Amino acid sequence: MQSATGKMINAYVPGRGNLPADQAAMAERRARLLGPAYRLFYETPVHLIRGQGVHLYDADGQAYLDCYNNVASVGHCHPRVIEAMSTQAATLATHTRYLHDGVLTLAERLLALFPPELSHAMFTCTGSEANDLAYRIARAATGGSGVIVTDNAYHGVTLATAGMSMSIGPAVAPGPGVFAIAAPTPANYPEGVASGFAAAVTAACGQMRAQGIRPAMLIVDTVFSSDGVWPDPAGFLADAAAAIRAEGGLFLADEVQPGFGRLGTSMWGFQRHGVVPDMVSLGKPMGNGYPVAGLVIRPEVIAAFGAQSRYFNTFGGNPVSAAAALAVLDVIRDEGLMENAARTGAVFRDSLAGLASDRFGEVRGAGLFIGVDIVQDGQPAPDRAVRLVNLLREERILISATGAQGHILKLRPPLPFSEDNAAQVVETIARLLPRL
């Protein structure tokens, strides 16, 4: 099962929209220079030139409330992160084949945020590289190559991880050994999400073995972002992790989107499920925009890979990336951003739930990661969802939509988001709903 068309939700269609002449020229320049594989957001794309806190600004100085971007997670252009990054970049930017304290301090600070079983950290530049490395490690550890993903998963853009990313659509073939199972929703598993999802893992392993493939790993985004945001009931992932382990495979928690405190009650999504993964991949918000990502791993899992091969990533773990990532951890702690995600997220979700109607369906989420079903006659209404996303853009509020059918609003603001910011979004949606 894959998304029906593979078309990107909320993609700009060149030549349409109400772009002013100078921006239309930019869009044409993009197509000419960057080629046919790049996409812009929105019916009428946004030209942004500045960011600060939870706001982005266009060339006319108009402010957009950012309710979407999870990379600048501690706020756009946070001065502590900029300062740490700039100072280190002016001091030294080499690599991990010389001794340097930065990468070690980062590893220590990061590992202190994980259960003690997960005691090694490795560093890459992107979440794609982290998941790709995890797969290489899983193959060495298990001797298998089979991978289980959910049916609208997104895990990266390398050949191996794009093959695990059903959400890119049918034009990108699943990789050899990749088996997709239905996302953990009550509709897909009416007998119970925990037992049903675990049974699907076991069944997929059976299909693999029937094709002569041994299981290597189950990989899931722990909030199931691209499947439409499915955080509950907390705890349901433990059975699936047990199921893949019973088959000799590993459990990889992809925390690239949910990680770093966004879910409010814990730094990592897997912690809500009472399970300790074999590997955890990290990315997007890790450097608040600086390209840094990584993998946290059990020693017994990396042993086989480490005995066979070395790992070197030219930029991964360099002193500048370490300084940026350390500053992000400092800011999350000192500004209480995880606590804010819990508090503001709860208020935000409650307020959104108050808009419930025949158009505005279930509100799901944890902390500041929120999904809302947009429906018509009880059925998914992707056209309405995309229309709302674009109406909000005209009101200078940035969100997007997700899910295999594209009918689920995705709200995922920078973590310093306030209750006033949330109120602005809710009031604006309330005003726009009759126009869907």
Site for a copy of itself in 71-130 (CB under 8 A): 71-72, 76-77, 79, 82, 85-86, 89-101, 103-104, 107-108, 111, 119-122, 125-129
> How near is the Cβ of 374 to a copy of itself at its closest, in Å?
21
| Residue 167 touching a copy of itself (CB under 8 A) | no
- Give, as ranges, the residues between 344 and 363 that touch a copy of itself (CB under 8 A): none
Shortest Å, Cβ 186 to a copy of itself = 31
Residue 332 CB, shortest distance to a copy of itself, in Å, is 18
- Asked if residue 245 binds a copy of itself (CB under 8 A), the reply is no
* Cα 294 from Cα 281, distance rounded (Å): 6
CA–CA dist 286, 303 (Å, integer): 26
> How far apart are CB 33 and a copy of itself at their closest, in Å?
4
Q: Please, which residues have CB within 8 angstroms of residue 12's CB and are 6 or more apart in sequence? A: 27, 39, 40, 41, 42, 43, 44, 45
Told to check if 396 binds a copy of itself by CB under 8 A, we report no
DSSP-derived letter for residue 87 is H
* Other CB atoms within 10 Å distance of the CB of residue 7: 12
d(CA 422, CA 351): 8
- Helix or strand or coil: residue 102? helix
Q: Does 62 bind a copy of itself (CB under 8 A)?
A: no
- Residue 160 binds a copy of itself (CB under 8 A): yes
Q: For a copy of itself, give the closer residue by CB, 99 or 187.
A: 99
**Is 34 within 8 Å of 4 (Cβ atoms)?**
no
Residues 197/373, Cβ–Cβ less than 8 Å: no
Q: Does 406 bind a copy of itself (CB under 8 A)?
A: no
Q: Restricting to residues 271-310, which ones interact with a copy of itself according to CB under 8 A?
A: 283-284, 288-292, 297, 299, 302-303, 305-310
CA distance 356 to 203: 37
Q: How far is the CB of 246 from a copy of itself (least distance, A)?
A: 26
Q: Binding of a copy of itself at residue 209 (CB under 8 A)?
A: no
Closest CA to 225 of 257, 194, 201, 271: 257
Question: What is the CB-side half-sphere exposure of residue 27 using CA atoms within 13 A?
Answer: 23
Which one, of 242, 185, 91, 239, lies nearest residue 373 by Cα? 185
> Applying CB under 8 A, does 187 fall inside the site for a copy of itself?
no
Minimum separation from the CB atom of position 327 to a copy of itself (A): 12
The binder of a copy of itself chosen from 23, 195, 265, 418 (CB under 8 A):
23
Instruction: Quote the least distance from Cβ 316 to a copy of itself, whole Å.
Output: 8
174 binds a copy of itself (CB under 8 A): no
Would you say 18 or 38 has its CB closer to a copy of itself?
38
Task: Return d(Cα 113, Cα 119) in angstroms, integer.
Answer: 10
Least Å distance, CB 329 to a copy of itself, is 15
